[in-house]
Structure 1
Amino acid sequence: MTAAAPINAAIAAHRFGLGEPRLEALGADPAAWLRQQIGPGDAPVGGPFASAAEALAAYAEQKVPVSELLAMPGQPSGAPEFELRDIVNTDLESRLATAVTTRRPFAERLVLFWGNHFSVSINKGPVRGLAGALEREAIRPHIAGKFETMLRQASMHAAMLRYLDNNSSTGPHSPAVVRLARKGVSQERRKKAATGLNENLAREIMELHSLGVAGGGGAYGPWGGYTQADVTAFAAVLTGWRAYDPPRDGQATFFDAHWHEPGPKAIMGKNYPEGPQALDMVIHDLAVHPGTARFISTKLARHFVADEPPVSLVDKLARTFGDTGGDLAAVYRTLIDAPESWDPALRKLKAPEEFAITSLRLLGLDGQQLAKSKDSALAALGQRPHTAPSPAGWPDKADEWLGPDALWKRVEWSQRVAERVGDRVDARAAARASLGPRLSESTYQQIERAADAPQALVLLLMSPEFQRR
């Protein structure tokens, strides 16, 4: 083992992974330990899980009597298999349990990263029950594939279509609108039946999921490269893509030509035909655009290395992204191989969910041993899974999580953990084994001088070396 290996093991475990109880588990080559984890995400722990179609059926059951639901054409026989409340709770429990127990923490961190990148919130009623399905169906299988594939799968998932209102997006000249006009339906009634073009999904795919904010990027740019007219044209391409409840013939997502805007559309200087085939063409061009390479590379570098990552690192990642057509496995290998990624400075603050996960992994707990709530009290920490405050997801910079109230909530959470398991944990030994050379002498002395074992555990969990990575 080289002289740098001990500190690199700590960096690999905490910066790239989700913390390890013992650094020796990484072996002699921490970078190799990370490379071996590149691939699809783990199968989620728990279940049984509802597919997007099953979640839509459960959502529909809440709105209409079962007798009416079963009489609807194109539906499978029998009542929906899942209760919506059970779907939501199972998804929450599984997300935490999978992260806490995985033996591939780098891969699981990538699942969490991309789940936040393609964020949806169950606080919006029509998305309830679908957030977990999006992670299982659109994120986990594709975290180490082509970015284009994940962009397509996530953007057209039922959860995203409903979260960003594409179900109500109507082509102004679509067959459905024309038919209503021919029938002499009043303009007021037509507005109720066809709400018009909705640009939410188009804008967020471009601004949040691929190209970045138009004109943004600063030292990391250029991002964007599109105009408002491009957003409007892309919204027209997306008309007709819908996710109804209950699902149609068991399909969660489908193209309904009745609501699609006819005619060609021009986006960023290129013409696309009408019809469903245009979607894949636009997604491909967005995925391989240089602005996307820089935007995604900036987000990855920010998440793993620093709130203001080195421009040199972003350059390397963007170059690999562009040269490989968005091969994410190659981008991760570049991230691992870059010297900038191994700067020992503690530049990243753990977000609340990450703090809870790494704490539970350190203690060998599964979450439900600590709290009656399905999310192990993450709501009290301010980051209940699947409830991000906006389509931009949860913030990934320290200043968003450093308020006095937020820090006090971490103290309270740590105290609850210590009350339950503190007497069974030697905090001094745990600190040495998990943090290794990152553990400062002053922090170790504070832990050693604690009044009792629970207080010692609180001091470990709240130490700068554990809070930051």
Structure 2
Amino acid sequence: MTTPPLYAAIAAHRFGLGEPKLDNVGDDPAGWLRKQIGPADAAVGGPFPTAVQALAAYSEQKVPVSALLEMRPASAPASTPSSAPAFTLREIVNEDLQSRMATALATRRPFAERLTLFWANHFSVSINKGPVRGLAGALEREAIRPNIAGKFETLLRQASMHAAMLRYLDNNGSLGPHSKAAERLARRTAGDKDKRRKVSTGLNENLAREIMELHSLGVAGGGGAYGPWGGYTQADVTAFAAVLTGWRAYDPPRSNQATTFDPHWHEPGPKTIMGKQYPEGPQALDLVIHDLATHPSTARFIATKLARHFVADEPPLPLVEKLAKTFNQTGGDLAAVYRTLIDAPEAWEAGPRKLKTPEEFAISSLRVLGTGDRHMAKVRESMGNLGQRPHTAPSPAGWPDQADEWLGPEAIWKRVEWAQRQAERFGDQIDARALARASLGPLLTDTTYQQIERAADARQALVLLLMSPEFQRR
């Protein structure tokens, strides 16, 4: 039978982000986790720009795009509210990255912070795409942190329709084929094919497809009893894209809201998605989001991702079924789903089941070392060297969450180099043997402890601790 100290170690590393002492968890690990369920901590640092202010900064620091399709609502201001403070894009990007790391290092609610990182990856955007620059941190602060333990429907609505997501997945340029803006475009480019080619507009399906495929129903809608594609087809994606026309994030912003609905870009008429008809206009969005968020395939898809993230690359089917059942019964109450996860015996099985991603490795290392935010500039720089710089995931699917993607020889060597740099900075100040026992407890094997104990010096001992199988996995 698993002993309480092992439960504490599992809570600290599998559910949390690593602790320098398992005493921090206490003698009720499950209770320690349950108390953390709720909105995430406020981000450390600031003052932070809102999405509106980030859009203003982007507008001021880029070459303006063609105004060919501009149809400014008469009642809306033509620029950002004058009260918005000035931020440079470089400052925003650096502050967002530093805050993300500093918050993870400082939090006393590491389970809640892990959930924040999980959902930030689920609703991934990348600042490598120019129009998103400056908005990734705002997405996390405005859409994800307040909503990680509410209804999934709210989280889906807020994250998928945030200015960062609209711009990342090209909804800004999605033009209803029969919209007023399309009619105006046709008139203004009549007989001028070269001019029309310069304006890259039309119905764009990127956001619709990813909301269905990556954010809710899943690439195959969960499969199994829920049917292939979760009941949706290519025609449903196209219809949903038509619903989404008109939802835009202008730069500079036209009001005090970063995301606005511009009826001139909206495709008129009703739309049919998965056999259900939705009306014309902005009200259709919330109706579609509700139906996607509460669909059985979404329950299955989210349950699978949570079980894979917290428990195993091949998640136990009974655990997936428990999580999906709770999701369905509660209408997507994420707090209830987390409690089901905590209460599931499958989540507490002994043995390191998950390889830490590079970001998880860096965060857990620095939390265990207790370095606080010292050398934060060097930490930010080193994240790129590890191969997982935050806010730069390679695709809308986010960073991979399975070990095979992070076990290549080059990737492992990057971890060794990173561990060596930390040992050079902190090794002489830390007793790696005592730290290994305090932070890993019963997870620490005799073999690893002997290797650390026989190290040539304190720095080598710390490298051996950080690169040990027990520390690299959770």
- Give the match for residue 67 of structure 2: none
Partner of 2:388, secondary structure, is coil
Partner of 1:271, secondary structure, is strand
Find the aligned partners of 1:210 and 1:396 in 2 and give their Cα distance: 17
Paired residues of 1:61 and 1:80 also in contact (CA < 8 A): no
After TM superposition, the structure 1 stretch with the greater mean CA deviation from structure 2, 207-216 or 389-398, is: 207-216
Paired residues of 1:210 and 1:292 also in contact (CA < 8 A): yes
Is the counterpart of residue 283 in structure 1 residue 282 in structure 2? Answer: no
Unmatched 5+ residue regions in structure 1? 66-71
Map residues 9-408 of structure 1 onto 2, 5 A cutoff. 9-63=8-62, 73-77=78-82, 80-182=85-187, 185-186=190-191, 188=193, 189-190=195-196, 192-193=198-199, 195-214=201-220, 217=223, 224-369=230-375, 372-373=377-378, 375-408=380-413
Paired residues of 2:222 and 2:297 also in contact (CA < 8 A): no
Number of equivalenced pairs: 461
After TM superposition, the structure 1 stretch with the greater mean CA deviation from structure 2, 315-324 or 371-380, is: 371-380
Paired residues of 2:46 and 2:95 also in contact (CA < 8 A): yes
What amino acid maps onto 2:464 in structure 1? L
Residues 1:78 and 1:37: Cα distance change in structure 2 (over 3 Å): closer
Residues 1:382 and 1:331: Cα distance change in structure 2 (over 3 Å): same
Deviation, 1:82, is 1.1
Paired residues of 1:375 and 1:385 also in contact (CA < 8 A): no
After TM superposition, the structure 1 stretch with the greater mean CA deviation from structure 2, 244-253 or 6-15, is: 244-253
Find the aligned partners of 1:213 and 1:386 in 2 and give their Cα distance: 23
Partner of 1:107, secondary structure, is helix
Find the aligned partners of 1:271 and 1:309 in 2 and give their Cα distance: 36
Find the aligned partners of 2:315 and 2:21 in 1 and give their Cα distance: 28
Residues 1:464 and 1:18: Cα distance change in structure 2 (over 3 Å): same
- Give the match for residue 440 of structure 2: 435
Paired residues of 1:367 and 1:376 also in contact (CA < 8 A): no
Find the aligned partners of 2:221 and 2:84 in 1 and give their Cα distance: 50
Paired residues of 2:189 and 2:196 also in contact (CA < 8 A): no
Q: Deviations over 1:100-136 (max 9, x none)?
A: 1100000000000000000000000110000000000
Superposition TM-score, scaled by structure 2 size: 0.94
Q: Deviations over 1:251-301 (max 9, x none)?
A: 211000001000000000000001000000000000000000000000000
Find the aligned partners of 2:355 and 2:426 in 1 and give their Cα distance: 25
Q: Deviations over 1:118-167 (max 9, x none)?
A: 00000001100000000000000000000000000001100000000000
- Give the match for residue 8 of structure 1: 7
Partner of 2:426, secondary structure, is helix
Paired residues of 1:220 and 1:311 also in contact (CA < 8 A): no
Deviation, 1:83, is 1.2
Deviation, 1:320, is 0.1
Paired residues of 1:216 and 1:224 also in contact (CA < 8 A): yes
- Give the match for residue 69 of structure 1: none
Paired residues of 1:15 and 1:305 also in contact (CA < 8 A): yes
Find the aligned partners of 1:184 and 1:373 in 2 and give their Cα distance: 52
Two-structure CA RMSD over aligned residues (Å): 1.8
Q: Deviations over 1:298-344 (max 9, x none)?
A: 00000000000100000000000000000000000000000000011
What amino acid maps onto 2:218 in structure 1? G
Residues 1:3 and 1:354: Cα distance change in structure 2 (over 3 Å): closer
Superposition TM-score, scaled by structure 1 size: 0.95
Residues 1:466 and 1:19: Cα distance change in structure 2 (over 3 Å): same
Q: Deviations over 1:174-231 (max 9, x none)?
A: 0111234356733634454461100000000000000000365569986632100000
Q: Deviations over 1:29-51 (max 9, x none)?
A: 10000000000000111111010
Residues 1:358 and 1:222: Cα distance change in structure 2 (over 3 Å): farther
Residues 1:178 and 1:227: Cα distance change in structure 2 (over 3 Å): same
Paired residues of 2:221 and 2:301 also in contact (CA < 8 A): no
Identity %: 77
